Structure 1
Amino acid sequence: MSTANDQAIDVAAAGTFDIKDLGTVRRLGFGAMRITGPGIWGEPADREAARAVLRRAVELGVDFIDTADSYGPAVSEEIIAEALHPYPAGLRIATKAGLVRTGPDGWHPLGRPEYLRQQVELSLRRLRVDVIDLFQLHRIDPTVPADDQFGLLKQLQDEGKVRALGLSQVSVDEIKAAQRVFTVATVQNRFNLTDRSSADVLEYATAEGIGFIPWAPVSAGELARPGGPVDTIARDLGATPAQVALAWVLQASPVMLPIPGTGSIPHLEDNLGAATLTLPAAAVAELDAAA
């Protein structure tokens, strides 16, 4: 049943993007990292509440969900399948492999080809799909030749186990190296109001038509303090600081695909409200200069 809040949220208003080898998705998606336990480790406090967040996201028009085998580990993928399988037509689910876990907040690159292949097979099983929509190398393992890792991804695509391929937390040179082996459909680097260290990657992705999936897109740090620029702009526009932060990210490039994550339906609805927020040029200029 729709509510007044449903009518105020229009995810489609953020526009769409065509991911190479995959197809069209709405530009404002959902990141499923925080439906796990503290430190992105183990079970969430309430597994049914986590499922409810996923169902609500799709109900409100989200058609792109990003996860990873390491979220939990395994927990996020399992909950996605529990909540949404059989998946509605048009829903795209991206996952990643290449980081192993040693405990809460512990992340370590592992890119041996046999390991990546195993993880793809396990993700297929947990997500209950025959093909992964978008598979991303979570990190390039510096102890394994990069071409071995890229070659394995290409093999998986050629075998029909994955549709599209992407990279995470990479440089422009690393993207170019991967492009010699396969079509890079997306890159997933940290990018937000206070961390623009991947601006060169965003510029390259924009020029190449590569989807840019910013992780931690809502982070605004000191800019969101009471009386700070994000807070002031939000008040002026009748929005929330999270919506201002996400609107700024969306307006940074047409290839931008933010995936704000949360384990809370109210936070989810707040984030998705950014789809209909357009920042005036003066506000964008102020935020551009603030970091």
Structure 2
Amino acid sequence: MLNKGTITIAGKSENPLTVNRLGYGTMRLTGEGIYGEHPNRPEALQILKRAVEAGVNFIDTADYYGEDVTNRLIYEALYPYGGDLVICTKVGATRKPDKSWIPFNTPENLRSSIENNLRTLKIEQVSLVHFRVMPGVGDFEESMEAMFQMQQEGKILHVGVSNVSRDQLETAIKMGPVATVENMYGHAQRNSMKSHYGDTNGGAEVLDICEANGIPLVPYFSLFMSMPKKDTRIAEIAKKYAISEVQANIAWLLHRSPWILPIPGTSALKHFEENLKAAEIELTKEDMDFLE
């Protein structure tokens, strides 16, 4: 079903990870406001099991989803984990009871988050961890030093960055091996913007750096931010192929660059199945020129 090939994470390292080029983001397997339990826990578990059955072997999570909700679901649905399954988590943020998002990015905070992920996922090493930059607070280089230190200790196999500017990405690459970048990116929303989640850095601003360095770009909010804008070009492509606009968005990401690893998320099994089918869609050069 997943016919868009594979992508290799940390290809120049001693421990590269090769995954199929359509992952799954678990953020929607939570309650309202990305907080608390999913309203249909059996369906949430079913989505995770179905993902692995379909060949999805890259799953994105964070201990501040819920909180800890998605990690506990992943453990319940998928443990013991298959040898080719890459569970990617994020650190650098936490939640308050009012559901707000706040920085949690001092070296001590980051270490606490890693230990929590190891505990809730029941693993001894996290395969891939993104340091999530929160706006306005914290020393980026100090945080990255802490991440690379935990990599040296063996708690983290590969280090990635999330929500980074062009300058931050270039700084991180100079400091150590950056495996992946997770920035906001979708057809209708590619550049930096302000949202209720805080300042967000777009994938368009860093994609060329990723491609030049062989670093996969993992787009978040690829559908959440793009779909409300209802880009008429996406609608025309969807009509042309008798597919949904969501599927057209995912297909565009898969065709945009071989270094993009989409992780569309959903809380409904029906929509998950529709997202999987987007990997079967073939867009022409003319389609891509039209969408650009």
Give the Å deviation of 1:88. Answer: 1.5
**Counterpart in 2 of 1:16?**
6
Deviations 1:23-68 (A, max 9, x none): 1011110000000111000111121211111001111110000011
Is the CA contact 1:244–1:279 (under 8 Å) kept in the aligned structure 2? no
Partners in 2 of 1:18 and 1:192 — Cα distance? 21
CA shift in 2, pair 1:147/1:238, >3 Å: same
User: For residue 51 of structure 2, what is the aligned residue in structure 1?
Assistant: 57
Matched, 1:130 2:130: no
1:145-171 CA distance string (max 9 Å, x none): 222101110111101111111111101
Instruction: Indicate if the aligned counterparts of 2:93 and 2:134 stay in contact, CA closer than 8 A.
Output: no
Instruction: Find the counterpart in structure 1 of residue 258 from structure 2.
Output: 254
Quote the residue 1:4 is aligned against.
Answer: none
Give the ranges of 4+ consecutive aligned residues of structure 1 lying more than 6 Å apart after TM superposition: none
Stretches of structure 1 that go unaligned for 5 or more consecutive residues are 1-9
2:175 is paired with a residue whose SS is: coil
* Counterpart contact for 1:97–1:138, Cα < 8 Å: yes
Aligned residues: 275
Task: Encode CA deviations 1:171-212: one digit per residue, 9 max, x unaligned.
Answer: 111011112222111111111111111312011111111110
Shift of 1:105: 4.8
After superposition, the CA RMSD in angstroms is 1.4
> 3-state SS of the aligned residue for 1:179?
helix
Assess, with a 3 A threshold, how the Cα gap between structure 1 residues 157 and 251 changes in structure 2: closer, same or farther.
same
> Distance between the aligned counterparts of 2:36 and 2:172, measured in 1?
32
- How far the C-alpha of 1:271 sits from its partner, in A, is 0.6
Are the aligned partners of 1:233 and 1:283 in contact in 2 as well (CA < 8 Å)? yes
Whether 2:210 is the aligned partner of 1:210: answer no
- The structure 2 residue matched to 1:143, chosen from 134, 137, 151, is 137
Q: 1:102 to 1:210 in 2, by over 3 A?
A: same
Q: Deviations over 1:205-242 (max 9, x none)?
A: 11111110001222333335xxx332222222132211
TM-score, structure 2 length as denominator? 0.90
Amino acid at match of 2:250: L
1:36/1:76 contact within 8 Å kept: yes
1:267 to 265, 271, 280: 271
> 1: distance between equivalents of 2:75 and 2:118?
10
SS in 1 for 2:289: helix
Identity %: 38
Measure how far apart 1:104 and its partner are. 5.7
Return the structure number with greater helix share: 1
Q: Distance in 2 between matches of 1:143 and 1:256?
A: 28
Contact kept? 1:98, 1:141, Cα under 8 Å: no
Q: Which residue of 2 aligns with 1:83?
A: 77
Q: Is the 8 Å Cα contact of residues 219 and 263 (structure 2) preserved in structure 1?
A: yes
